[in-house]
Amino acid sequence: MSDQPVPAEAAPSRNLVQFVLRLREAGVVVFLVLLGLTFGLLNDRFLSVQNLTIVASSAAILAIAACAQGVVLITRNLDVSVGSMMGLVAYLTADWTANHPGISPAEVVAIAVVLGIGLGAINGLLVAYGKVPALIGTLGTMSLYRGLTYIYAHGQEVSSSRLPHWMLESADIRIAGCPIYVIIAIIIVMAVAWFLYAYPLGRRIYAVGSNGVAAWFFGLRAERVVMFAYVLCGFLCGIAGLLYAARVGTVNVVLASGWEMSSLAAAVIGGVSVSGGSGTVIGAALGAVVLAAIDNGLVLLRVPEFWRMFIQGAAIVAAVAVDALIAEAIRRSTAGRRR
């Protein structure tokens, strides 16, 4: 064993790490399956295709937000302005759409995306180039964006009757019984996951998050990577905000408030580490599914609201603990091999 060449030793240990990283995502899946089985045993309607579709549709938009949060978390940063970005984008876009009845769907999407990118870029500038700690910088923009939404709205809301018919109707489209926005969410999350996995810029996001100093020595411009992560986050929030508006049909100033915490919770349950560098956006999206499944299952079981809060909180702590156990297992196994 000891006379094996070094590269050969490095290879299996990397495979092992990759294996466990995959296992880490598997952790959410296992949790989800256990949750599903428990609810399924207690209530026979839970595991019906129809109900699972419902769970997926309540999770879809949060999954996109969690994916946005996940990208930023992987760079070892944080974005607590996620909900406020969604709210501001949704309100501005909906108001613009309501006031310009002839507007085409493509233009609406373009407005939302551009606004989202702009807001994300402000966060990126603050954190990447302003060197402001992520929590504080985005805490500031969280208040700022939400406050601007209120000031712009001036006590109004954009009600469903003011929105063009196609906007709400397109959210009601179902493909093989599955709401369109669930499919959009799946495509987006997959695309982002693929991007992070296969593209150099995507890999750099992981590199910066797992070891910023090492990444710097390798010649990575961490600022640019972090900036990009925030812009991507803003972009995703723009889409999520628009989908939210189309789904719920009424756009008010409090839209998606509190989603900074839900998106963070979903990402953490999904195995994205708040210390950066590990986890996947697919895991984050599955975390959103876990939260939606708990919500749905507890209503089916007629469990009081209070227990829902308690159980979701406990689930987050449990997920974090499992995550740490896995990390510890990796550390031990790799250390063992080196010896």
Partner 1 sequence: MAAKAKRQWPFWEFTLIVAILGAGAWSSTLSPYYLSVDQLFGSTRAFIIPGLLALGLAVVVSLGEIDISLASIIAVGTVTLSKFSAAGVPLGVSAPIVVAIGALCGAFNGLLVAKWRLPSLAVTLGTMGAYRGLAFIIGSEVGYTDFDDSYLWLGSEYIFHGIVPVSLIVFALMAILVWFLMHRTVYGRRCFSIGLNTDASWFAGVDVTETKIRAYALAGALAGLAAIVWIGQYGSARGDNADGSILFVVTAVVLGGIDINGGRGTISGVVLALFLLGTIRNGMGLANIGGPTQTVVLGSLLVAGVLRPAAAAALARLSNPARLKAAGPQGVESSGQE
Partner 2 sequence: MKSKILAALGAALLVVGLAAAPALAQQKTSGFKLMMTPKWTGFPYFELTGEGAKAAATELGDTLVYAGADHAEVSLQVETLQNFVTQKPDGIILAAIDLNAVAPVLKDARKKGIVVGTYDADAAVPARDLFVNQLSYEQAARVMLDAALIDAPEGGEIAFIAASPTSPNHMAHIKIMTDLTQKDAKYKVFKPVDTQFANDDDAKSYDVAVNLMQAHPNLKVIISSSAVSAPSAARAIEATGHVGKVWATGFALPSAIKRYLENGSEKAFAFWDPWELGYVAAYAVHQKLAGKFEPTEGAVLDVPKAGKFTTFKDGEVVYGKPLIFTKETVGKYNF
336 binds, among partner 2, partner 1, none (CB under 5 to 8 A by kind): none
160 binds, among partner 1, partner 2, none (CB under 5 to 8 A by kind): partner 2
**Three-state DSSP class for residue 295:** helix
- Whichever of 131 and 154 has its CB closer to partner 2, that residue is 154
- Residue 323: CB minimum distance to partner 1, A: 8
- Whichever of 189 and 253 has its CB closer to partner 2, that residue is 253
- Residue 278: CB minimum distance to partner 1, A: 11
148 binds, among partner 1, partner 2, none (CB under 5 to 8 A by kind): partner 1
Q: What are the CA-CA distances from residue 188 to residues 3, 17, 205, 212, 272 (Å)?
A: 47, 26, 18, 27, 18
The tokens of 131 are what? 């060197």
Residue 318 near residue 269, CB atoms below 8 Å: no
- Whichever of 78 and 113 has its CB closer to partner 1, that residue is 78
- Whichever of 63 and 78 has its CB closer to partner 1, that residue is 78
Residue 79 near residue 69, CB atoms below 8 Å: yes
- Whichever of 41 and 254 has its CB closer to partner 2, that residue is 254
142 binds, among partner 2, partner 1, none (CB under 5 to 8 A by kind): partner 1
What is d(CA 108, CA 110) in angstroms, rounded to the nearest whole number?
5
Q: Under the rule (CB under 8 A), what is the footprint of partner 1? A: 78, 126, 130-133, 135-137, 139-144, 146-148, 150-151, 261, 264-265, 268, 273-275, 305-321, 324
Q: Under the rule (CB under 8 A), what is the footprint of partner 2? A: 45, 50-51, 54, 57-58, 61, 146-147, 150, 153, 155-157, 159-162, 168, 171-172, 174, 179, 244, 247-250, 252-258, 292, 295-296, 299-300, 302, 305-306
For residue 316, give the amino acid letter. Answer: I
How many alpha carbons lie under 13 Å from residue 9 in its C-beta half-sphere? 13
Residue 246 burial (10 A CB sphere; 0-12, 13-18, 19+): buried
Could you count the other beta carbons within 10 Å of the beta carbon of residue 149?
A: 23
12 binds, among partner 1, partner 2, none (CB under 5 to 8 A by kind): none
- Residue 36: CB minimum distance to partner 2, A: 15
What sections of 44-104 are H helices per DSSP? 49-74, 82-99
- Whichever of 12 and 313 has its CB closer to partner 1, that residue is 313
Size (the chain), residues:
339
309 binds, among partner 1, partner 2, none (CB under 5 to 8 A by kind): partner 1
Specify the pairing of strand 174-175 against strand 178-179: antiparallel
Residue 207 burial (10 A CB sphere; 0-12, 13-18, 19+): buried
Cα–Cα–Cα angle for 260, 65, 300, nearest 5°? 85
- Whichever of 51 and 69 has its CB closer to partner 1, that residue is 69
- Residue 59: CB minimum distance to partner 2, A: 10
